[in-house]
Structures are given as C-alpha cells and as structure tokens.
A and B are shown apart, each in its own frame.
Chain A
Amino acid sequence: MGEICVVIEHRKGEIRDITFEMLFKARELCRAFSHRLTALVLAGKDSGLANGLAKWADRVVVFEDDRLETFNADLYKDILNRVIQEDRPFMTLMGHTSWGMDLAPALSVKTGLPLATDCVDIQAKDGRPMVVRQIYSGKLFSRVSFKESPGYLITVRPGAFLPPDAEAGSEGEVVNQDMPADLAEPRTTFVEFVDTGAGEIDITQADLLVSIGRGVGEEENIATIRELADRMGATLSCSRPVVDKNWLPKFHQVGTSGKSVRPKVYLALGISGAFQHVAGITGAGTVIAVNKDRKAPIFRVADYGVADDLFKVADALKEKLAGA
C-alpha cells in the first residue's frame, strides 16, 4: 500500500487551517487509491499537536525537539528528506505558504522528486498526479502533469479545499520518532515574530468594509472613497497593492499577508480578486464587487457585481445617501 504524506503546518503552538484542508483532500485521494494517510509533525518538544491529528490520519509521525519549534528550512528539509527516502510516499503535500515556499522547492532538489506549487485541485491519471493551478495572476488556469517518478511533491493553496467542520475519522496511531543524530547545523536562526497588523483600527471587527484596490488609481482618489466609507459608517480596508505603494498603513490590508475579515458586507472597489486577497474574505457574509473589467476574477467569488467605474458608483452612492 502506498502512502500520502501531509506535512503539518503550525505556528505559535496552533495548527494552521491549511493543515486540515490538506488532510481532507489527502483523505479523498487515499480512498481513491487505497493509500495510507500519514501526517508528519515537526514541532517543539511536548507540543501536544499530535493529539488533535489522530482522527484525521492513519498515522501521525512526530519529530519533537526544541530546534523544531519554529520553522527552519535546513532542519525541516533534512528531516523530511530522510523520511521521504525511507518511506517513499506516493505524494507529499505541503501548504503553499511562507513555510511551503521556502521548503518545497529545496526539498524537490534534495530528493530529486518533481514539484508543482500552489495547486487548487489534485487528481490522478495513469498512476500519476495531475494538478490544476492558476497562472497569469489568476486570469487563467492550467492543468499540469508530472514526469514519471518514485514520488511527487505538491504544495496546496490555502482555502482551495474546504473541509467540513467535523471529521468522522480514523483513529490514527501516533509514532514518535527520534531526531536523527547527524543533523547538520542550521544556517538560519529564528530571532522573533513581529506583528505588523496591529494598528489604530481593527478591520476584523467591522460590520461593513469598503475596500479599495489598484483600481483606485492614485493616492488622492482615496479621499473620496474615505468620504463614502464615513458616510456609510463603514471601515476602510484595502488590498495589497495599496499598502505596497504606502497609500494606506498595513493594518488596512485584507488578504493572506494581511487580515482575514468577516464583515456582514464587504464592498470591494477596484479590486481584481487576486487569490491572496480573496482568501481574506472567505468569512464575509456578502461580497459586493465593483470593477470596470467584467472579466475580473473577483466576480467569480462575489455575491453581487457591478461592472462599472468605481468612482461613478461611489459618487452615486454618496448622492443617494445624502438625499435619503
């Protein structure tokens, strides 16, 4: 029986959502191929993470050591390489996250196994995986296949596979492993975490968010949208490009490297809908998108859409509210 390995991602003592998403998808694949599902935990001593995972996998392999408490590319790469060489899993899944982006490509070279990143779907064809991933900033999708290999590495897009809340599960066995004795000294040392999202306004608490993206064009146009937000009693937020240009401070940013928000209504103005942004609004009640481009990806995920110039709509909203 083959094996599918899922590398568990955690931070500050908590397992991150991507882990469960991967385990859910991997379980589906394991059922299809009669493979065994193994969860790989690399964590700090006495992390306690393994316990929560037992019902999600057939086997939970645990490496616990102080050196592994925070992600370290060299150590994780070394250990995972050994596991893969020994167990020869069919597929190894990692999250396409900051961790995954640092780990997976290096692991691919070290193990000599092929890799596809940021995948939004995984299937198998003729005994090999076939993945679907986005290209050209999300405007198009591609189906990618692999060269025949003893194993395959895949990083998974966070939020691509949404597991149901409860997992009727397995009773996985937990296997504690010893750290290899001959691990090389890591070349990176963790210093500290810094929370850049802290700021005067907490956009995660807002009921109504008016969010701006590249479509706003110039910094001075933000003022007119701010007026709209004020008139609506809404909080202003934005997508990444606005913060990159220093038009708004980071605590306004919605998205994977910003905040996840869950307002009752999210009004996206001039936001194209790049995945990294959309990932931050999955919890929103209703998403209303305004974008000049009818083909903008945001319209795939929004509940309501307006294909028009955002300033026209903003002005009209202000007028209606002033009159009402």
Chain B
Amino acid sequence: MIIPYRASYWSIVSVWIFYVLAALAVAVFVFGVISHVSVWSRGARRQGMGFSGQGVFNLFLDGLLGRRIFRGDVAAGTMHFLILWGFLGLFVGTVLISADYWVYPFLKGAVYIGYSLCLELFGLMLTIGLVWALIRRYLQRVTRLERRIQDLMVPVWLLVVVLSGFLVEGVRLSSQRPEWGAWSFIGHGISLFWSDPRAVLSVYPYIWWSHAILSLGLVAAIPFCKLFHVLAAPVNIYLEGQPDLPIPAETATADEETFSTRQMIFFDACTRCGRCVEVCPSTGAGESFSPREFIAAVREDLLLRHDPLKSLDWFARWSDSRKTEKPDLDPQMVWHCTSCRACLEVCPVYVATPKVIERARSRVVEDGTQVPPLLSQTLEKLYKYNNPWEASKKNRAKWSQDLEIPDLTKTGEEDALCYFVGCTTALDTRAQDLARSFAWILTHAGVPFGTLGKNEPCCGDIARRVGEDGLFEEQMESCLALFERNNIRRVVTSSPHCFHTFRNEYPTCQALRPPDEKVHFDVRHYTQVIGELVSEGSIRFEKRLNIKVTYHDPCYLGRHNRIYDAPRKVIRSIPGIELVEMSHNRANSLCCGGGGGRMWQQDLDSKIKMSEIRVREAADTGAEIVITACPLCLIMLEDARKTASLEDTLRVMDLNELVVMALGLQSESEE
C-alpha cells in the first residue's frame, strides 16, 4: 500500500516560473506594507510600543476569535470567524506543504490524511463564510454594509481562489485517483465529474496556474485594498492595551502630523463595517456626519500627503472614481462629533474616532479660520472668565448665596471634601438646582464639604474636547494650582465631564511633570458619593415614591468611565420606585447631544435633534420622569422635552433632585 502523500507540483513544468511570480507577489506585498508603515511612522510618536500582556490577550480574543464582531450581530461574528479561520487554516496549510517540500517530507500517512481533511474543512469554512458574506451584503442588503466595487470584488476574488483550489484538487484527484482520495471529500466530490483521466490531464496545468496566479495576485493586492485590515487591525488591537503618552501642546510643530502613530494605524485598521454609523447619534439625527466617512476622508487626505504613490488604495481610487466626486476633507466635518464614544464601544478593531476628531479639531483651532464664530466666542469667554457661559466671573457662586457653604479658598481647611461645582452647574439656571440639591443632601447626611466659591476655574473639558489644547493646559494649571494651594485632596464633581477630565486626562498630562510637582487628588462623581452614603446608611429613604422612572446614562459617566450601577442602585433603593430601562441603555445609551462642545453650537444641519430622539425614547418607556446624572444632559433633555411637546407627559430630573424629593428635603414642589 502506498503511504498517503501528495507530490508537490505534480504535472506542472517550469515550476521556477511559479517561484519567480511568488517572489514578485511577495515583493509587491512587502512594498505595499512598507508604504503603509511609512505613513504610520509619520505620526507624532505618542504611543509606547512595548510588550503588553493585555495586548496579547486582546489580540487573541478580538483578533483571532473576533469577539467584538459577535457583539450585537452573531451572524456577522460567525461569518467572519469562518472566513478568518478558513483562510488562516489554508494559509498554514500552504506553509506546511512548502515545509514538507523544502525541508522535510513529514506530510505522509495519517498525518497527511489528517492534514488533507483539515484543509478540506478550512476550505469549506472559507467558502461558506464568503458566500454568507456575499449574501449578507448583496441579497440581505444589511444597511450598514457598503456596496462599492471593492466590496464585491474582494470576496468574489477570494471565493474564486478557494473554489479554484477545490477545482485543482478535484481535477487532480480525478486523474490520480488515490485510495485516500475520499478524505479530501470536496475535491473527491468534484473529481467524480470526470471519468476519463487523460482528458483532464491536459487541462490541469491551466487550472493549476490560474489558481496560482489568482492566489499570488491576492497576496500582492492585500496592502492595496480593504484586505489590508488583516494586518493593520491586529496591530491596532494589540496596541489598544498601551497607554497614550501625554500630549504637551508645546511640542507639536507645524510639520508634525496631527495624529499619533497609533492613530495613523486606525485609518488602515478600519474595516468599513459600519457599526459606528449605526450607533452614531449625529448620523442618527440626520446630520451630514458619520464616523466611517470621517475616517475614510482623513485616510484619503493622509495618503495623499504622505504616501509616495499618492494613494495606496488604488483599488479604492479606481473604483471610487466611478462614483460621484469624492468630497474633500471639509474642516467643518469635525464639529459634529459629541465625543460620546458609542463608535469606539462597538468598533471591532478599536478605532478611536473621538480621539481622532479631537486631534483634527486641534489643527482646525490652531489655524483659526474655520472655527465657528459661536465656538470662538465661547472659547474667548473661557479664556477671560474661566467659564464658557458668561462674560463675567461674578456670578460663579451665586447659586449658593443662601446656603452658607464654606469657601475652601478662604478657610484653609485641610483634607476637606471639595465639591467642584463646574461651570454649567454653577451658571445655568436649570442646572443650579442640581448643585443646591447636592448641597442639601450632603448637609442632611452630615458630610462636611466646601466649594471653591467665586474662584472656581473651569476644569478645561470643553477646551480639550474642541481641540484648544493650549487653553486646556492653562485651565488645568489653574485648577491644580488652586487645589495645591488650598490642600484639596478629595474632590466630588457635579458633571461627569469634570469627573472624566480630572480622573483620566489630568494624570496623563501630569505624567510629564517631575514627581514632586505632581498634584495628587482623588476625584469622584456625585453618584458615587451618594451611592456610598446610601450603602453606609447615612441616607435612608423612608418616604415611598410610587413613580415609574427611567435612567439616562450620561456618556461620560457610563461609556467613558463605566459607572452604570451606582446611580441605579441609588434609584432602586427608594421605596416604591419602579425603574424601567430605555431601549438604549448602559453601554449603548444614546447621547443627549451636549458633549464634545456641541452644547455651544447645537444645531448643525440635523433633521431632528439628538436630544429629542432621546427624550422620546424616555417617554416611550411609560416613565413619568427621566433621571439623569449630568448637568449638560439635564439641560439638553429639559429643552428637548419642550420642543418635542412632551411637557405634560415627562419630567426631567437630576438624580440629586430625585433624592431630595425622596428625602422630603424641599417642601416646595417642582415647577
């Protein structure tokens, strides 16, 4: 009995041509990859690139298993898994057979049979996956998937490669007819079509060479079409574990690219799957913005500027040139994003569009001529008066004038709890209720605290979000100096934006300071403080409130900082309350539209306001009150309630106000 094996290059002559072509294909491939990497290397180096266990872990889960692709779309996850593993399997198979040929013939006997079977299975997986992909895109017409020429050609090409592979096998088997042929069940099945082995023999080389050329062509094409994501995405996924180095505003020179190296990789890692488009509140509001389009536009712009070939994505260029004219990178595009992070939440490859937008904004702001006038004025107010609302500092502490709250800049108390009120809460008439309520709650619970009074600066969040990094740094310096001067070590904020900036951005920016100059302080959001007070019993709810409420997760408390449960716990601990969830909640909560500087330039070509969409969702739950935990959300939803004519059906309250109501601290009823 012959030991199962396979003769490589059976019936093929001039094999050296194959090697030449292979070398060519690999050379083109390598050239393409190098071009991409050279574009990446133009990024401002702000990323540590060392070893990261978290990175490897993510690589396995997200890169190989495609964990995030399954989220929200099991069909997509399965389909992609089949394609990825099918392809990987076949690729490894090719490597093994080369090793078998060049190094040591180990593929024989049972090993060979096992090998054949596996490859057959992988090929089947790949085929099923590709067909499924085509069905999803062209028959089911899944909305978020695009139908450009490239999107058709790539899976079809792959499919032709894998089917031609089976064909090659089938034809070979029909001629060789080995005993173990049935193990390669698909090839075997195909081989049954021909009975006369000699007729097939003359055709076989053609089929073999076609398959070879198509496969090599595919390899060469990878860096030049959307397939490049198979290399870029894993790199990005690995780097997700790495911290971002701080960006001192000073160092960026005019020549340096705005984006860091990591961010440059985003543009190539993007698979154009469109999940971001599905969840983006700006797109949902009918605005002319989508994260995918933005990433594509910036990518195009970067390639045009940095790539020696002027655009690596020749495929895109060729196929898209048949479409209508590609829009230029319009600086006005950057202003739509609310930095809600919904896109990053669902992106299978961790493309952090909000960060990219922030960097793009910093360039636009520096140039100065494309800054919307209202935003310009807001930033001027921030610079001169430490707040984006009023052209004056005098009203900062007005909300507390009847409350006798100690001013920590004057009392010199050490280690007091500092309630950082925040610009919006201090100055907006509606949001001031939040501050007063929180002050009553702390007093009721016997927690000593103080504020910074009239001297409270802005945390700098809005400056950072709209790209005014220099102004952000100045506000940060102000804050830190004030904290240090007055020995402030414990801070609680009204706004999740302040909380996020203090907790996440300040430490990164302080990383550049020498150790003895760092100002350390511990920051919490008020929901955490109230949560603690409830669990330790300092706040006890005795009164029953028989109302149905729903809770709106603020983007900066929820998605950015993962605080979903603390506020819910507080709500649920009020007797009689029924908490219902909106259809978008927790990590996929819908943005109110106030973040990312949008509060100060709201209506950009939207068909319906984001806040209105959200407030209607709240009303649909049947709740009487929608509770929120952010002053910007409070204002946005309150306004939306009026414009959506829901004033009689729905109330908007901050969590503090609900707690005050439950504790009966204020006898006057609201409104």
A, B bound: yes
Using a CB–CB cutoff of 8 Å, the interface residues on chain A facing chain B are: 218-220, 245
In whole angstroms, how far apart are the Cα atoms of A219 and B373 in the complex? 10
**B7 CB within 8 Å of chain A:** no
Number of inter-chain CB pairs below 8 Å? 5
Complex: chain B residue closest to A247, CB-CB: B373
Can you name 5 A-B pairs with beta carbons within 8 Å?
Answer: A218-B374, A219-B374, A220-B602, A220-B603, A245-B373
In whole angstroms, how far apart are the Cα atoms of A245 and B372 in the complex? 11
Distance (whole angstroms) from the CB of A165 to the closest CB of chain B: 44
In whole angstroms, how far apart are the Cα atoms of A219 and B603 in the complex? 10
Interface-central residue, A218, A220, A245, by most chain B CB under 10 Å: A218
Complex: chain B residue closest to A246, CB-CB: B373
Among all A-B residue pairs, the 3 with the closest Cβ atoms? A220-B603, A218-B374, A245-B373
In whole angstroms, how far apart are the Cα atoms of A218 and B603 in the complex? 11
Distance (whole angstroms) from the CB of B100 to the closest CB of chain A: 71
8 Å CB contacts to A: which residues of B5-64? none
Cβ contacts under 8 Å, A245 to chain B: 373
In whole angstroms, how far apart are the Cα atoms of A218 and B373 in the complex? 10
Cβ contacts under 8 Å, B603 to chain A: 220
In whole angstroms, how far apart are the Cα atoms of A245 and B603 in the complex? 17
In whole angstroms, how far apart are the Cα atoms of A220 and B639 in the complex? 13
Distance (whole angstroms) from the CB of A212 to the closest CB of chain B: 16
Complex: chain B residue closest to A315, CB-CB: B642
In whole angstroms, how far apart are the Cα atoms of A220 and B605 in the complex? 12
In whole angstroms, how far apart are the Cα atoms of A249 and B374 in the complex? 18
Using a CB–CB cutoff of 8 Å, the interface residues on chain B facing chain A are: 373-374, 602-603
Distance (whole angstroms) from the CB of B395 to the closest CB of chain A: 12
Complex: chain A residue closest to B429, CB-CB: A309
Complex: chain B residue closest to A220, CB-CB: B603
In whole angstroms, how far apart are the Cα atoms of A280 and B373 in the complex? 27
Cβ contacts under 8 Å, A219 to chain B: 374
Complex: chain B residue closest to A219, CB-CB: B374
Distance (whole angstroms) from the CB of B638 to the closest CB of chain A: 14
Complex: chain A residue closest to B603, CB-CB: A220
Distance (whole angstroms) from the CB of A235 to the closest CB of chain B: 25
In whole angstroms, how far apart are the Cα atoms of A220 and B602 in the complex? 9
In whole angstroms, how far apart are the Cα atoms of A220 and B599 in the complex? 13
Distance (whole angstroms) from the CB of B472 to the closest CB of chain A: 23
In whole angstroms, how far apart are the Cα atoms of A59 and B233 in the complex? 91
Cβ contacts under 8 Å, A220 to chain B: 602-603
Cβ contacts under 8 Å, B373 to chain A: 245
Distance (whole angstroms) from the CB of A260 to the closest CB of chain B: 29
Distance (whole angstroms) from the CB of B671 to the closest CB of chain A: 14
In whole angstroms, how far apart are the Cα atoms of A197 and B133 in the complex? 62
In whole angstroms, how far apart are the Cα atoms of A220 and B374 in the complex? 11
In whole angstroms, how far apart are the Cα atoms of A219 and B602 in the complex? 11
Cβ contacts under 8 Å, A218 to chain B: 374
In whole angstroms, how far apart are the Cα atoms of A245 and B602 in the complex? 17
In whole angstroms, how far apart are the Cα atoms of A219 and B374 in the complex? 9
In whole angstroms, how far apart are the Cα atoms of A275 and B297 in the complex? 49
In whole angstroms, how far apart are the Cα atoms of A202 and B373 in the complex? 28
Distance (whole angstroms) from the CB of A46 to the closest CB of chain B: 49
Distance (whole angstroms) from the CB of B379 to the closest CB of chain A: 15
Cβ contacts under 8 Å, B602 to chain A: 220
Distance (whole angstroms) from the CB of A302 to the closest CB of chain B: 23
Distance (whole angstroms) from the CB of A18 to the closest CB of chain B: 34
Cβ contacts under 8 Å, B374 to chain A: 218-219
In whole angstroms, how far apart are the Cα atoms of A182 and B373 in the complex? 51
In whole angstroms, how far apart are the Cα atoms of A245 and B373 in the complex? 8
Complex: chain A residue closest to B642, CB-CB: A315
Distance (whole angstroms) from the CB of B564 to the closest CB of chain A: 33
Distance (whole angstroms) from the CB of A261 to the closest CB of chain B: 27
Distance (whole angstroms) from the CB of B648 to the closest CB of chain A: 15
Distance (whole angstroms) from the CB of A22 to the closest CB of chain B: 37
In whole angstroms, how far apart are the Cα atoms of A96 and B603 in the complex? 41
Complex: chain B residue closest to A218, CB-CB: B374
Complex: chain B residue closest to A223, CB-CB: B603
In whole angstroms, how far apart are the Cα atoms of A28 and B504 in the complex? 73
Distance (whole angstroms) from the CB of B429 to the closest CB of chain A: 9
Distance (whole angstroms) from the CB of B514 to the closest CB of chain A: 44
Complex: chain A residue closest to B372, CB-CB: A219
In whole angstroms, how far apart are the Cα atoms of A213 and B602 in the complex? 20
Distance (whole angstroms) from the CB of B287 to the closest CB of chain A: 15
Distance (whole angstroms) from the CB of A78 to the closest CB of chain B: 42
Complex: chain A residue closest to B374, CB-CB: A218
Distance (whole angstroms) from the CB of B159 to the closest CB of chain A: 52
In whole angstroms, how far apart are the Cα atoms of A218 and B604 in the complex? 13
Distance (whole angstroms) from the CB of B373 to the closest CB of chain A: 6
In whole angstroms, how far apart are the Cα atoms of A220 and B604 in the complex? 10
In whole angstroms, how far apart are the Cα atoms of A220 and B372 in the complex? 13
In whole angstroms, how far apart are the Cα atoms of A35 and B664 in the complex? 80
In whole angstroms, how far apart are the Cα atoms of A243 and B602 in the complex? 21
Distance (whole angstroms) from the CB of B636 to the closest CB of chain A: 14
Distance (whole angstroms) from the CB of B603 to the closest CB of chain A: 5
In whole angstroms, how far apart are the Cα atoms of A271 and B185 in the complex? 85
Distance (whole angstroms) from the CB of B454 to the closest CB of chain A: 20
In whole angstroms, how far apart are the Cα atoms of A245 and B374 in the complex? 10
In whole angstroms, how far apart are the Cα atoms of A219 and B600 in the complex? 11
Distance (whole angstroms) from the CB of A178 to the closest CB of chain B: 54
Distance (whole angstroms) from the CB of B598 to the closest CB of chain A: 12
In whole angstroms, how far apart are the Cα atoms of A219 and B375 in the complex? 12
Distance (whole angstroms) from the CB of B78 to the closest CB of chain A: 47
In whole angstroms, how far apart are the Cα atoms of A220 and B601 in the complex? 9
In whole angstroms, how far apart are the Cα atoms of A220 and B603 in the complex? 8
Distance (whole angstroms) from the CB of A24 to the closest CB of chain B: 40
Distance (whole angstroms) from the CB of A166 to the closest CB of chain B: 48
In whole angstroms, how far apart are the Cα atoms of A264 and B373 in the complex? 35
Distance (whole angstroms) from the CB of B388 to the closest CB of chain A: 13
Complex: chain B residue closest to A217, CB-CB: B374
In whole angstroms, how far apart are the Cα atoms of A282 and B374 in the complex? 32
In whole angstroms, how far apart are the Cα atoms of A218 and B602 in the complex? 10
In whole angstroms, how far apart are the Cα atoms of A71 and B374 in the complex? 39
In whole angstroms, how far apart are the Cα atoms of A155 and B374 in the complex? 36
Distance (whole angstroms) from the CB of A270 to the closest CB of chain B: 14
